[in-house]
Structure 1
Amino acid sequence: MSHSTPTPYLTWAIFTVIHFAFLIRHMWKFDRFRCLRWSSGPYSGAFKRLMTYTYILTVPLIAVYSMGFSAIKYDVGYMFVEGHGIIPTPWQFWPKKYRDAILPLNIIFSVAWSFEMVTHLEELCFWLFLMNAVKARQDWFRSTYFRVWVVGSLCAIVYMPLVTVLTRSDPLKNEAYIFLCGCLGDLSLTLWFLPVLWSFPAFLEGMKLEGVDLPTLLRLNTFHELNLIRVLFRFMFVISLLILGIDGVRPHQHINDHFFWSELLAILGGIGVIVSSAITLVIFFPRSPEGEYAAKQIKSSQKQSQAQAPTRREYELEELRSSQYRLTGGDMPTKTYDSGYDEYTRATSPSMKVDPESLQIVPAAKFAPNRRRSNGDIARGTVHIDGLTENNLAKHDELMGKNAYVHNFTSPIQLVEQS
């Protein structure tokens, strides 16, 4: 796009700013930015940190790239070239400070693209693992899919900036090779994602027959629908820039020489990458409207209870008054307090009695924690409730042993790392 008008860069800049604003709002609503801390609870292992920070950095890096070239293109403007008419000023006529900024901006873009491929590869490997890990003791961090993700991520982080540096002599060819190499990597990941989408409905039906709880099934089905939409926009992004990249490395350009087609494909690519990235944010950090509403109601009720609760002086006076009634042998009039003093009301009210026959004894539950065996495998804990028959207990163990990652599934990166 170095030879194009400023319009594609400005469009990309607007899209990234909007997406960054959406990211900030979503992360605030999700957990008030606590997930961005280095240690954010039991799920804040090295894997989650890496996935979180590489994804979050992708958006500002693309914003720097697009806004940087947009400012340069608008500053250098247009010029008349004999035989071509009025065209955007070629890079050879840019001031030296702008020519020196081409390579750093391209490196920033290539790093952002490599981070995006790390995210896409992790999702592909994780969904494949989730659909094929049917043994209770299969661990994501010891699986072949995790090793594939590690090797593929290292390759993506190395080869994208390396291509940018090796082709830096010609800025036009440099940009074309970045598009070509990045799109080939992303296209392969997107094509590999199609079998996952195809077989996911059957996977959901199998989980339904195994008795996975309804909220988890609904969450998985929602992620499946989001993945369908995201793959469509990912194809829009990859195919658009792949056409520009292939045409750019050829000796004679047929598409890049026409402003309409080059700008149209560049804008479509920008729409594709921003929409797919926004859907990734929703999948990685899924919000719960029910949980947010419940938390809001609890917070509101707590504030209301604190405002209506009796003061310490009133509490002491009531305690003194009740003691006087007990000394004189009289009946103390009942008084209803707010939730903060329900226990006090029940303790001091003589009219409240408990019927022993109405009480029910709840069977005691026995818990066995997770334990690490000598060979390194994790022996997952069990729950035994007195009163369960051996047959029902066997069914329970078989059900929970199908795939521990499916039960109570929340996000592809919300995983407990075994230590």
Structure 2
Amino acid sequence: MKPDPAQSCRGHLPSTMTHTSPESYLVWALVTSVLFTFLVYHMWSFDRFQCLRWNTGPTPGTFKRVMTYCYLLSVPLIMTYAIGFTVIKYRRGLMEFEGAIMPTPYIFWPENERRAIFPLMLTFAVAWSLEMITHLEELCFWLFLVNSCPQNWFQSRYFRAWIVGSCVAIIYMPMLTIWSRSDPLKCEAWTFLGGSLGSLTLTLSFSPVLWSFPTFLAGLKEEGVDIATIIRLTKFHELNTIRIVFRYVFVVPLVILGADGVRPHKHINESMLWTDFLTMIAAFGCCISSALTLVIFFPRSVETEIAAKEAARERRRSRSIASIAPDSARFSDYSNGKDMVPPSAKPYNFLASEDGHGVASPNPAHTGWTYDTSQELQMQQLPPLRPNRSVKPSTRRDLENENTYSSGVHPMVHNFTSPIQLYDGGKAPTMLEFTQH
């Protein structure tokens, strides 16, 4: 006999997935949709989506592309998870259970909607693992920058630590969801607990970096670093501080829900008030911190964008003038019965002078000067300039060591613009580079 769903859950209230109301998932869907919209607008304003191409930029690097795709893929994956459960929750609605009104438990869902639980949870787990890869890279990079390591980033122990940690994150989060997929309630609880503990560890590790960063900036001022670099690093420090605060807002509520969900007796998850409250503030913390990550990874320069727009407008004006002016001149000469070629456009008359050198005689309309080509011929007869090859070419590591200041400040500090713009020498692409072509 097929078990009665009502009898199977009588005597206890199911955990997070049941008590999470449709309204809480609607908040997740709305804020993630706003985040995705902001992402599209920001990437279009940044470089017209050129950063999404694998071979964009003068020296594209695999590291930069991996970081770009890890972050940009996490946002639509989280949005898919939120919208999917929002649709299911509102389809099932609420029900009365032992005298209380609660969201319909998953055991009362149709078979097709129950089958959608695991794919949506796996989507959320993959998105969270990509998010942790992004957070771990930032932690390792800022530790590398603050400690002013003399070696290259890709040869440092911080880069190797990021590789190992990224492999762990991309494996353990999906595996945790797959391992607990037999029980949807435990699957959600373990996914929340595993992901939030990993993110909480990274967030706690980032806090000492924020604490020591003002001392790092003071040291740069004593070393005589230019004020533009100090201002740029100060702005990143403030953005990181705000972002870390909202990352705590994101992970702490999910730690509480996950830890309570894996226990035999639930306390938080049996209260719809606390479940919805923690879920909603976690949604705001996740999306605000992700939006700040986007601004830090792809920093826009309003001054550069305005200059690019003005340069593009000036080029269009110049092309329009150049296309109109010759046509008007030819039309004017043609209407007067003259040659269709204007006098200013006629070639010079090269005459042979007594010394054998060519002398350019301008058009009669432009008198008073001649152009002697003898100097140009003498310049052409000069021996060509040849590079000095007596010096042994320096390797990349020699150049980096040569550019390392004796003060201990890493050269990357002076041209830093983004934690992922490392292969390009710290220079982020600008709108001017994309509008000049």
The normalised TM-score by structure 1 is 0.81
Aligned match for 2:394, one of 339, 351, 371: 371
What per-residue deviation string (whole Å, max 9, x for no partner) do you get for residues 217-244 of structure 1? 2221111000010011000011111111
Q: What residue number does 2:376 align with?
A: none
Aligned positions, number: 372
Q: What residue number does 2:384 align with?
A: none
Rate the CA distance shift 1:369–1:95 in 2: closer, same or farther, 3 A: farther
Rate the CA distance shift 1:275–1:186 in 2: closer, same or farther, 3 A: same
Aligned match for 2:420, one of 406, 409, 413: 413
Q: Identity percentage over the alignment? A: 50
Deviation at 1:76, TM superposition (A): 1.3
What per-residue deviation string (whole Å, max 9, x for no partner) do you get for residues 53-95 of structure 1? 01000011001111111111111122222x2422211111111
Rate the CA distance shift 1:110–1:279 in 2: closer, same or farther, 3 A: same
Deviation at 1:369, TM superposition (A): 10
Rate the CA distance shift 1:208–1:87 in 2: closer, same or farther, 3 A: same
Rate the CA distance shift 1:174–1:308 in 2: closer, same or farther, 3 A: same
**Aligned partner of 2:262: which letter?**
V
What per-residue deviation string (whole Å, max 9, x for no partner) do you get for residues 184-211 of structure 1? 1111111111111011111112223333
Q: What residue number does 2:119 align with?
A: 104
Trace 1:285-296 onto structure 2 (pairs within 5 A): 285-296=298-309
Aligned match for 2:172, one of 159, 164, 183: 159
Q: What residue number does 1:241 align with?
A: 254
Aligned match for 2:108, one of 93, 113, 119: 93
Rate the CA distance shift 1:8–1:329 in 2: closer, same or farther, 3 A: closer
Q: What residue number does 2:357 align with?
A: none
Q: For 1:329 and 1:2, how far apart are their aligned partners in 2?
A: 91
Rate the CA distance shift 1:214–1:73 in 2: closer, same or farther, 3 A: same
Rate the CA distance shift 1:87–1:63 in 2: closer, same or farther, 3 A: same
Matched, 1:75 2:91: yes
Q: For 1:231 and 1:18, how far apart are their aligned partners in 2?
A: 20
Matched, 1:298 2:311: yes
Deviation at 1:382, TM superposition (A): 9.7
Please report the RMSD computed on the Cα atoms of aligned residues, expressed in angstroms: 3.0
Q: For 2:271 and 2:363, how far apart are their aligned partners in 1?
A: 101
Q: For 1:328 and 1:69, how far apart are their aligned partners in 2?
A: 80
**Aligned partner of 2:121: which letter?**
N
Secondary structure, in 3 states, of the residue corresponding to 2:267? coil
Matched, 1:115 2:143: no
Contact 1:190 1:234 in 2 (8 A): yes
**Aligned partner of 2:120: which letter?**
L
**Aligned partner of 1:220: which letter?**
L
Secondary structure, in 3 states, of the residue corresponding to 1:133? coil
Secondary structure, in 3 states, of the residue corresponding to 2:95? strand
Secondary structure, in 3 states, of the residue corresponding to 1:264? helix
Q: For 2:393 and 2:103, how far apart are their aligned partners in 1?
A: 65
Structure 2 portions without partners, runs of 5+: 1-15, 331-340, 350-360, 372-387, 426-437
Deviation at 1:408, TM superposition (A): 1.1
Secondary structure, in 3 states, of the residue corresponding to 1:379? helix
Q: For 1:146 and 1:60, how far apart are their aligned partners in 2?
A: 27
**Aligned partner of 1:79: which letter?**
M
Matched, 1:133 2:148: yes
Contact 1:179 1:244 in 2 (8 A): yes
Q: What residue number does 1:230 align with?
A: 243
The normalised TM-score by structure 2 is 0.78
Q: What residue number does 2:54 align with?
A: 38
Rate the CA distance shift 1:187–1:382 in 2: closer, same or farther, 3 A: closer
**Aligned partner of 2:125: which letter?**
S
Q: For 2:347 and 2:182, how far apart are their aligned partners in 1?
A: 91
Q: What residue number does 1:353 align with?
A: none
Q: What residue number does 1:380 align with?
A: 399
Q: What residue number does 2:36 align with?
A: 20
Secondary structure, in 3 states, of the residue corresponding to 1:87? strand
Aligned match for 2:214, one of 201, 205, 217: 201
Q: What residue number does 1:358 align with?
A: none
Larger Rg: 2
Q: For 1:284 and 1:369, how far apart are their aligned partners in 2?
A: 38
Secondary structure, in 3 states, of the residue corresponding to 1:79? strand
Deviation at 1:175, TM superposition (A): 0.8
Secondary structure, in 3 states, of the residue corresponding to 1:311? helix
What per-residue deviation string (whole Å, max 9, x for no partner) do you get for residues 252-281 of structure 1? 211111111100100000000000000000
What per-residue deviation string (whole Å, max 9, x for no partner) do you get for residues 324-363 of structure 1? 9x67988759xxxxxxxxxxxxx999xxxxxxxxxxxxxx
Q: For 2:100 and 2:287, how far apart are their aligned partners in 1?
A: 34
Q: For 2:104 and 2:404, how far apart are their aligned partners in 1?
A: 70
Aligned match for 1:311, one of 300, 317, 325: 325
**Aligned partner of 1:415: which letter?**
L
**Aligned partner of 2:397: which letter?**
I
What per-residue deviation string (whole Å, max 9, x for no partner) do you get for residues 3-52 of structure 1? 12111111111111111110001001111100000111234211111101
Contact 1:216 1:406 in 2 (8 A): yes
